[in-house]
Structure 1
Amino acid sequence: MIKIVTVSSKKELASFIDFPHDLYEGDPNYVPELFIAQRDLLTIHPFHKHNKVQPFLAYDGDKIVGRIAAILNNAHNQYNHKNDGFFGFFDCIDSTEVSNLLFDVVTGWLKNKGITGQLLGPVNFSTNEPCGLLIKGFDSPAFLMNTYNKPYYASLIESYGFGKDVDLIAWHWDGQEYDDKSVRLLNSLEERLKRSNIIIRKVNLKKFKEEAAKLREVYNSAWDSNTGFVPLTDEEFDYLAKDLKLILDPDFALVAEQNGKIVAFGLALPNYNEIFQKIKRGRLLPTGIFKLLFGKKNIQSIRIYALGVIDGYRKMGIEACLYGTIIREYKAKGFKHAEAGWTLEHNDMVNRAIEAIKGDPYKTYRLYQKAI
């Protein structure tokens, strides 16, 4: 008989975090999340100050067979004038009995919180964090801060009555197989921008706190029309920026600035999942920390994590300059793979631009919805 347990203790939380390691054992494309990062995300992340998250575990006897988290995102509902709930951290054996019970408990929990709209997911906790169910591209590991799951998850979710909300696309380049037009035109594009007093520069890590405050404004403005977008609070953005600072390469952290005002930024990150994949059960101690410290120089790929331009500055060539600079550095550093995204399936302007530089839409993630 399947039993659902409300996670409330440190031991149960550790079991919640560790369950995927057992479920995906032997899967060559599985990348374990770092335990300390997941623990902090689920306990001390600033998201919890204004919202609620409740993890659940499914047991068959003494064996864990599934997990899920119910997410009450008050900021999303206030910003989008909705009364929706979310599910995330979904992992499950191939059993509709188990998955249905997990979705039942999330639905009941959200109803008790007064939610009457849609149940959306998977998100961990919103589209600002890893989100979406992988439905295409199971033949390779996910890049940094993207998700991976077993192919049967889609049938478990859809059998409960969920339908498609929107698809998210990840784009790939192999080796030097890209159109470098933006690199060849980089000097002329930058000269044209300078006539409008716009320059492209690297993020100043020595003044990172000041830079982060300006970048937060751009982030919350440039992505505000995206499906499911929720503005990050100051604390949430600072939490994200602090984590990103630990892993970013300053040559891939770029801003466009006009008279001291940041109007766009582009950020590509070394794909640390190449290292995380080798850290057993996501534990940095006793040996994982050395893999992390010494593995950085061997990373072969990057993920273009974010590229945004605020309204009023689009279609000026800023996007092309940011992409061109990232491609130039990618080539100079000898990386072998790159991923961009995700992008929304209906964002035609961005998707056409990526297609123009020969991006391959190699992975698709889906967000689902169901009336509560």
Structure 2
Amino acid sequence: MSRPDQHPVCQVTPVRTRADRAAFVDFPYTLHRQEPYWVPPLRSDQRRLLDRTAHPFHEFGEVEFLLARRGGRVVGRIAAVHNPRHDDFHGTRDGFFGLFDCVDELGVAEALFGAAEAWLGERGLEGMTGPVTFSTNYECGLLTEGFDLPPAVQMPYNPPYYPELLSGCGFTTAMELLAWELPSTVHEDPKVLRLARPDADRGIRVRPVDLRDFHAEAARIREIYHAAWERNQGFSPMTDREFDAIAHELKPFLAPGLGVIAEVAGEPVAVALAVPDVAPALAAANGGLHTWGIPLGLLRFLRARRALDRVRVLILGVRREHRHRGIELLLGIELSRAAQRLGYPVMEGSWMLADNHAATRAMRLTGARVTKRYRIYRREPCDAVSRSPAGI
């Protein structure tokens, strides 16, 4: 990590023009092009994040996109985020940041964080937590362990110097997140089967998500999701439009059996949802499905998709009043059966809060191991003048 006084001062300015937006989207592809495990997201998805008329978060939240330049060259980017739904739910006035990418220079990182902090402070927000892409309902966290492994789909990857930059800028740990890996043979483990007694013994019915009635199923999943995660640190309730948009994006990747719902007396009380880990296929597409109207990236994506060997468990949640009944294990068993049947030998559960001790016990019972660690940081408010480098 370079010292802040080893390089000329950079200038941080808000994204205002079409050229600024293009530069904001393009910067990570330039910065990380030599990183063997970084997976280029689709540029169309990245552009949508900046589109205030298209992405549903912008209907209620405020975001300022910022670029750091030196001599006309982009050296960093960040988004300052005001999420009023988070503040209303928790009774706070918290600021957030996301979409952080930066060269290995402490001075550039501090310039970006200083500009984001100033924007948040103008809105009466206190402190700054992140990285989160708008909220924890989207991609979030900074990779701190597991740099020699590729990320799962919709999980972050960053160079090893990023945690050093945040520590050098005065950030401390707010939340630690884990990625667990396990084989899709959990349903064959006698110990797990013994702990997860037959469903009928406890009046629990586990059924697959009905993909033919996906709209109604998505509404049921949304209710469980909000009820199961409401006490989690950093949770922010989604609007119906937000949840529906995410469900619409996931639907093409859903496979029969990789979504299951547990019911008690006909009431949905728990859900588990997994998708094929298409990160290697996205890497093959290299950020775009079409080039000048020709579907070259799409062809590479489809070719790589045939070789996928794992699934990512996106959601596994149980309503609070139905916990400690082994429902998590029942859901995991059904996902394991489906993953093996579909030809995926490996499952990744990500992310899970490191301090979720019940989930940790359940994962260890299945023989899972932690393969990657992520962190969400926080910087408490202080004298902005003492932090802001010159030139901003």
Regarding TM over 0.5, the answer is yes
Map 1:54-203 to 2 at 5 A. 54-115=64-125, 117-173=126-182, 180-181=189-190, 184-185=193-194, 188-193=197-202, 196=203, 198-203=204-209
Query: What is the distance in 1 between the residues matched to 2:185 and 2:317?
Result: 24
How far did residue 154 of structure 1 move? 0.9
Matched with 2:244 is 238
Q: Aligned partners of 1:50, 1:98: CA distance in 2, in Å?
A: 30
1:248 pairs with 2:258: no
Unaligned stretches of 5+ residues in structure 1: none
Q: Deviations over 1:198-253 (max 9, x none)?
A: 31111112211111111111100001111100111111111111111121112201
Q: Deviations over 1:272-307 (max 9, x none)?
A: 101011112345433112223444332111111110
Letter in 2 for 1:262: P
- The SS at the match of 1:251 is coil
The count of aligned residue pairs is 368
Q: Is the 8 A contact 2:139 2:154 kept in 1?
A: yes
- SS where residue 331 of structure 2 aligns? helix
Q: Distance in 2 between matches of 1:247 and 1:349?
A: 29
- For residue 298 of structure 1, what is the amino acid of its counterpart? A
Mapped to 2, the partners of 1:349 and 1:235 lie a distance apart of 31
1:178 and 1:359 in contact (8 A); partners too: no
Asked whether the equivalents of residues 106 and 168 of structure 2 are also in contact (C-alpha less than 8 Å), the reply is: yes
Deviation of 1:175 (Å): 7.3
Report the residue type matching 1:229 in the other structure.
Answer: F
Alignment of 1:279-294 (within 5 A): 279-285=285-291, 286=294, 287-294=296-303
| Contact 1:199-1:257 at 8 Å conserved across structures | yes
Please state if 1:325 is matched with 2:305.
Answer: no
1:312 pairs with 321, 324, 328, which one?
Answer: 321
Structure 1 counterpart of 2:377, one-letter code: Y
**Structure 1 position 351, deviation (Å):** 0.5
Percent of pairs with identical residues? 36
3-state DSSP of counterpart to 2:118:
helix
* 1:339 is aligned to 2:341: no
Corresponding residue SS for 2:111 = helix
Deviations 1:143-176 (A, max 9, x none): 0111110111111111111111111111113576
Match for residue 12 of structure 1? 20
The residue identity in structure 2 corresponding to 1:110 is L
CA contact (8 A) 1:86 1:122 kept: yes
Checking the alignment, whether the CA contact within 8 Å between 2:184 and 2:336 is kept in structure 1 is: no
Pick which of 21-30 and 171-180 moved more: 171-180
Q: Does 2:220 align with 1:214? A: yes
CA RMSD, 1 decimal: 1.9
The answer for unaligned runs of 5 or more in structure 2 is 1-8, 382-392
Further displaced range: 91-100 or 10-19: 10-19
TM-score, normalising length: structure 2:
0.89
SS at match of 1:266: strand
Does the residue aligned with 2:173 lie in a helix, a strand or coil? strand
Displacement, 1:185?
4.8
TM-score (norm 1): 0.94
3-state DSSP of counterpart to 1:277: helix
Q: Is 1:34–1:284's contact at 8 Å kept on the other side of the alignment?
A: no
